[in-house]
Structure 1
Amino acid sequence: MTDVSWQNRFADSMMRTFSPPLAMLVRGEGCYVWDDQGTQYLDFLAGIAVNSLGHAHPEVVAAVTQQIGTLSHVSNYFATPPQIELAERLKRITGAGDEGRVYFCNSGAEANEAAFKLARLNNKGHRSRIISLHDSFHGRTMGALALSGKPHMREAFEPVPGGVEHIDSTIKALEATIDNTVAALVLEPVKGEAGVIDLPAGFLKRARELCTEHGVLLIIDEIQTGVARTGAWFAYNHADILPDAVTIAKGMGGGVPIGALVTFGWASELFRRGQHGSTFAGNPLVTATANAVLGVIERDDLAANAARRGQQLREIILAFNSPLIDEVRGRGLLLGVGLTEPVALKLGAAALANGLIVNAANETSIRIAPPLIVGDAELADFTERFGRALGSL
């Protein structure tokens, strides 16, 4: 394909819901991808925190190959070994334990749709309110969109499902809002789509206290932050709390579409047979792949690698001493570079021109989320490529 042909074919065939593609990528290996012209890129976005083990990891390839040649799909009328294995693994790594339950789905948005339904089921005492945070993002399906605290995303689709209120991400707002009329509090521990914005210190602990006091479900959206990305299995581990439910997707599948809602304790008793379901969810192909991904993360302690490499990456970025760089936010290998001027799009384009894939989350924020396998060589390469991009502005 020539540049013109694929761009025209894309424009003529694809729904206009996305911006024009930046390149035609044709293969990947480790932390690198190549386009149709043979240009190599250092991938420090990992498919938006999806490719936990990078590209074409041999154990992921082996898991997919073995399972697709054995049994790929059977519907939810039947169980399969990898499905049960993954459910048990998720109960263990989330901390849900023996009382936990797992619902599989196909994406992060679907996981949050299931969480929305779970919230509605916590209606004893006529609870009608679901609380979320301003500037949060939980997906683009209608329920997930209702949870998202970004009005400009909802406007074209109003009315979205009701009963959701959005509050500021402050402990003061939390204390003024959570009471016995609230069914659930839904939050991201780090607001990824907002530019990797951290919650205030102590926010999660206070949320846990208030939700316990008032019988409110604490539902934590770990779609982007989960699966070792922040240097622990889940971001709530850093606050030493457990939620009542957690939503997981992205990095769990290492590139295959999978999501999950994991419930804890009393929240596991809310759903009843027939109240939710999905044809493709939890099929043996995706669950076998997720087992392989999570197995490698655990065996190689990639959570510790994310913590160490994330700190190194933070230091590398700040060491540029660029007047354009204001701060580095986030944790582990989910970082947001706050800029002093609205040039994130230009910086993202300059990075791409220098063979580096990062993401302009908004006009003043660059999001960085490399594969969890990143090492010294990739960090050195990042330093060179990002430095050239900064210097070109």
Structure 2
Amino acid sequence: MNNRQLFLRHVAQTSDAPLALEMVKAQGMYMWDAEGKRYLDLIAGISVCNVGHCHPAVVKAIQEQAATYMHLLVYGEFVQSPQVAYATYLTGHLPDSLNSVYFTNSGAEAVEGAMKLAKRHTGRAEVIAFNNSYHGSTQGALSILGDEHWRNAFRPLLPGVQHLQHNSMQAVDAISERTACVIAETVQAEAGVLAPSLEWLQALRKRCTETGTLLILDEIQCGFGRNGSLWAFEQYGLVPDVLLLGKALGGGMPLGAFIADKSVMWSLTNQPVLGHITTFGGHPVSCAAGLAAMKTLMEEDLINSVEAKSKLFLELLRHPRIKAVRARGLMLAVDLGDFPTNKKVIDRCIANGLITDWFLFAPESLRIVPPLIITEDEIRSACRIILDALDAV
């Protein structure tokens, strides 16, 4: 049997029609399959590889840490220098109130931890989330995910969750002294790149403060420069009580985090002790990789070019079949009207050496979230392939 056949037989499948491309190498903006064909990557492992695949600084950090030590003990007991260094660097680039980092294995686990933190800190049970939001696939995260199609098969889910309309002032009014937390994506990703209004997000912040509710902002997809600033919330002139990170946080290694003020995070240390625990969260190799990736992001000044690159995509992506293009930095959704058309375009792009995808709650839209290192020439090449695919289908 070849690897594809073994993959289909022995690796648990998440759909009945996986792409099943056998990639054997990735570097920078590109991946290569087993036949040697090169693909330009337009989705960065779903917003993971912001500094590209196998950046030399990230690879070096992984190799050095792996040769020093890997797993030692359950998270939070030993002082592990990669965790300390990364938490220090992260909080040095965040507002003063976001000063305590709890590292997890993934973004979904960060969501789970933040929900527990909100309930423990406030002594309340109600959670408010929003329609068409995506926060992960674990049981608690699924409970706040904003689409019944994806939730229904796994009920019963967590009680006490309200799903309200994103960007609606009625949702703001629903926040009360019973609400433990409001959790929102700063920019809704899987809804097809939907950014809330400045007035709405600021009103959400104000109402949470008035009611003693924790405002949790999920920047698992949109953080680390993806929207043209280091953190998307910076564009709204506010600070969340809890920030959720993942995906690009680990530089290609598995890592998530929820970040809050030390006074809030301390709630997990008592009544009961070990209020949130993880064996592999904040793995030293992942933390070393993430720190190297974030330093690369900052030192190579990649964020300052995001808006210009976004505008180039918008200029080039013009075609009678394109209904609209929604963009927030290098997070773009190309609306093609319906999923069958979009899927044909995606398949043709892949056949022509361009990796792209669709959105869970906006399947009619083509996903563009490339590594931030993408060049103007690569943007032009990618857009030519997309437009040629539109002509062909």
Give the alignment's TM-score, normalised by structure 2. Answer: 0.93
* Partner Cα distance (2:164, 2:66) in 1: 45
Residue 228 of structure 2 is aligned to residue 241 of structure 1: no
What SS does the aligned partner of 1:336 have?
strand
* Partner Cα distance (1:211, 1:266) in 2: 17
* Partner Cα distance (1:274, 1:32) in 2: 43
CA contact (8 A) 2:24 2:34 kept: yes
* Partner Cα distance (1:351, 1:96) in 2: 44
> Hey, what does 1:185 align to over in structure 2?
182
> Hey, what does 1:109 align to over in structure 2?
108
* Partner Cα distance (2:336, 2:262) in 1: 42
Over aligned residues, Cα RMSD in angstroms? Answer: 1.7
Shift of 1:201: 4.1
* Partner Cα distance (1:20, 1:175) in 2: 40
Consecutive unaligned residues in structure 2, runs of 5 or more: none
> Hey, what does 1:67 align to over in structure 2?
65
* Partner Cα distance (2:134, 2:65) in 1: 33
The aligned amino acid for 1:33 is M
Instruction: List per-residue Cα deviations over 1:102-158 (Å, max 9, x = no partner).
Output: 10001010010101101211434xx33110001111000011111111112222211
The 5 A counterparts of 1:138-217 are: 138-217=135-214
What SS does the aligned partner of 2:251 have?
coil
* Partner Cα distance (1:297, 1:289) in 2: 12
The 5 A counterparts of 1:45-124 are: 45-75=43-73, 76=75, 77-97=77-97, 100-124=99-123
CA contact (8 A) 2:135 2:144 kept: yes
* Partner Cα distance (1:157, 1:290) in 2: 33
CA contact (8 A) 2:29 2:52 kept: yes
> Hey, what does 2:376 align to over in structure 1?
376
Instruction: List per-residue Cα deviations over 1:343-385 (Å, max 9, x = no partner).
Output: 2111111111111111111431111110011112211221222
Give the alignment's TM-score, normalised by structure 1. Answer: 0.93
Consecutive unaligned residues in structure 1, runs of 5 or more: none
CA contact (8 A) 1:52 1:252 kept: no
> Hey, what does 1:31 align to over in structure 2?
29
Provide runs of 4+ in structure 1 moved above 4 Å: none
The aligned amino acid for 1:297 is L
What SS does the aligned partner of 1:389 have?
helix
* Partner Cα distance (1:89, 1:45) in 2: 26
CA contact (8 A) 1:131 1:186 kept: yes
* Partner Cα distance (2:110, 2:390) in 1: 38
* Partner Cα distance (1:252, 1:315) in 2: 30
* Partner Cα distance (2:40, 2:279) in 1: 36
What SS does the aligned partner of 1:23 have?
coil
Shift of 1:285: 0.8
> Hey, what does 2:290 align to over in structure 1?
290
Which stretch shifts more, 150-159 or 129-138?
Answer: 150-159
CA contact (8 A) 2:345 2:386 kept: no
CA contact (8 A) 1:94 1:233 kept: no
The one of 13, 16, 20 equivalent to 1:16 is: 13
* Partner Cα distance (1:265, 1:174) in 2: 29
Shift of 1:22: 4.2
Give the % identical residues. 35
What SS does the aligned partner of 1:197 have?
coil
Shift of 1:178: 1.1
Residue-pair matches, total: 384
Shift of 1:267: 2.9
Residue 258 of structure 2 is aligned to residue 261 of structure 1: yes
CA contact (8 A) 2:358 2:366 kept: yes
Residue 252 of structure 2 is aligned to residue 252 of structure 1: no
* Partner Cα distance (1:316, 1:271) in 2: 50
Shift of 1:195: 1.9
Shift of 1:257: 0.2
* Partner Cα distance (2:68, 2:310) in 1: 38
Note closer, same or farther for the CA distance 1:105–1:365 as it changes in structure 2 (3 Å cut): same
The aligned amino acid for 1:359 is D
